[in-house]
Amino acid sequence: MRLTRYFLPILRETPKEAEIVSHRLMLRAGMIRQQAAGIYSWLPLGKRVLDKVNRIIREEQDRSGAIELLMPTIQSADLWRESGRYDDYGKEMLRIEDRHEREMLFGPTNEEMITEIFRASVRSYRDLPLNLYHIQWKFRDEVRPRFGVMRSREFLMKDAYSFDLDIEAARAAYNRMFVAYLRTFHRFGLKPVPMRAESGPIGGDMSHEFIILAETGESEVYCDRALLDMPIPSADIDFRSDLAPIVEEWTTPYAATDEKHDPAAFEALDESRRIAARGIEVGHIFYFGTKYSEPMGAVVAGPDGVEVPVHMGSYGIGPTRVVAAIIEASHDDDGIIWPKSVAPFDVALLNLKAGDQTCDAMCADIEQRLDSAGLSCLHDDTDARAGAKFATMDLIGLPVQVIVGPRGAAAGEVEMKVRATGERETMSVDGLMAMLQAQFGDAAS
């Protein structure tokens, strides 16, 4: 993609409303634009990141056996009356009326709707286990939206819903999502820390928040340092096998958010292992049994022919928030540093002297060879000064910068800079291509 033909509205100065680094950088890098309190447009660069995040989420959900569908944003109030939540949900729910004065709402979540879909079609335990998910916009009319897309009113959510015959099977479904979440966040370049969370009226231990440690996190969290170095289950893990040992391993070390914090248990840890920090909640999974299936009549016939309400769980990831969390976790004074897996483009190509025949020809050649190699590239072919180009590319944080200047081009050489480390190296174009293929070869997982 040539920058002269792209839409990348970079801001040199920071809009005054942006307080935290991810919000500042997303505005400055032209990723998002605010439309109203807690409501954002995603501009092309941001959209590319969001798409990559969603793609990884899909891959890991699918790998775990979940099945994607798509439910609408607008729901009928009647559905929510069945579960009793229409009156309970309060002012966070955006209620609207259509032209026939029917009561509708912009969905803050989809338990009711998925339960309705399930009960309409599933009759037998033999269709279980089932896990259905979608990635769809949600709206929660937050009292105080803030921090850009970190806490917005309209936000994207991947929400999955599992259906099982009994609690043992539901636990297995929970464990599959638990492992899928570890893998998903790992692929974003993040270190996920599962923390025991409030599990509501059902009780039990089946509710975890996935937390990313960050100074700008919204909640106080406490955990054992060991959790930051635990091995992430590999891509070839068998989701049909018993995953309980992995979940056990990950939930044994101390980890709790503020509300579940047990100072005594925490103090019992060796001081070098204690982490008291702030965290960003990027995912939340929980089991809620028959809370919806019972009132809404989502039942299946068991092996004995008797109908029983299904046991359900729900599993959420906020992709829009994840984008902000990645930036919180990976940036420096100059701008964003994208992990390869979610970078909007793989390579930044800087033509330091657009209009110079040698530079232009070399850049065109590199652009084409990158394309053939399956690598995406943002090619700064503007006539801006070198300094401005470096600043822009550092700001938007693509993993690798390829610098083509008149001196090097005359000698058939380019410079390659790794954004994360700042390392620079001069090489031939052939050498560059070999280097890039090595760099990005393993980026698939």
- Name the site residues for RNA (rule: CB under 7 A): 10-19, 34, 36-38, 140, 142-147, 149-153, 155, 157, 209, 218-219, 281-284, 316-318, 320-321, 334, 352-355, 383-388, 390-392, 394-395, 403-409, 415, 417, 424
CB of 150 to RNA, least distance (A): 7
Between CA 109 and CA 31 the distance in angstroms is 26
Query: Nearer Cβ to RNA, position 316 or 339?
Result: 316
Cβ neighbourhood burial of 93 (10 Å; 0-12, 13-18, 19+): buried
Query: Nearer Cβ to RNA, position 48 or 321?
Result: 321
CB of 120 to RNA, least distance (A): 26
CA 225 to centroid of chain Cα atoms: 23
Between CA 88 and CA 76 the distance in angstroms is 15
Cβ neighbourhood burial of 226 (10 Å; 0-12, 13-18, 19+): middle
CB of 145 to RNA, least distance (A): 6
Amino acid type, 122: V
Contact 106, 100 (CB under 8 A): no
CB of 20 to RNA, least distance (A): 7
State both tokens at 249. 């391993």
Amino acid type, 327: I
Closest CA to 209 of 201, 263, 219: 219
State both tokens at 18. 């942006």
- Helix (H), strand (E) counts: the chain: 14, 23
CB of 103 to RNA, least distance (A): 20
Query: Nearer Cβ to RNA, position 343 or 395?
Result: 395
CB of 370 to RNA, least distance (A): 19
Query: Nearer Cβ to RNA, position 119 or 158?
Result: 158
Query: Nearer Cβ to RNA, position 127 or 332?
Result: 332
Closest CA to 7 of 46, 34, 35: 46
For helices 319-329 and 44-63, angle between their N-to-C axes, nearest 10 degrees:
110
Query: Nearer Cβ to RNA, position 166 or 413?
Result: 413
CB of 383 to RNA, least distance (A): 5
CB of 273 to RNA, least distance (A): 26
CB of 28 to RNA, least distance (A): 8
Query: Nearer Cβ to RNA, position 311 or 417?
Result: 417
Q: How far apart are the first and last CA of the chain?
A: 25
Query: Nearer Cβ to RNA, position 297 or 422?
Result: 422
Query: Nearer Cβ to RNA, position 132 or 237?
Result: 132
Q: DSSP for 31-65, please give it.
A: SEEEEETTEEEE-HHHHHHHHHHHHHHHHHHHHTT
State both tokens at 327. 């930036």
Torsion angle, CA of 377/320/318/441, rounded to 10 degrees? 10
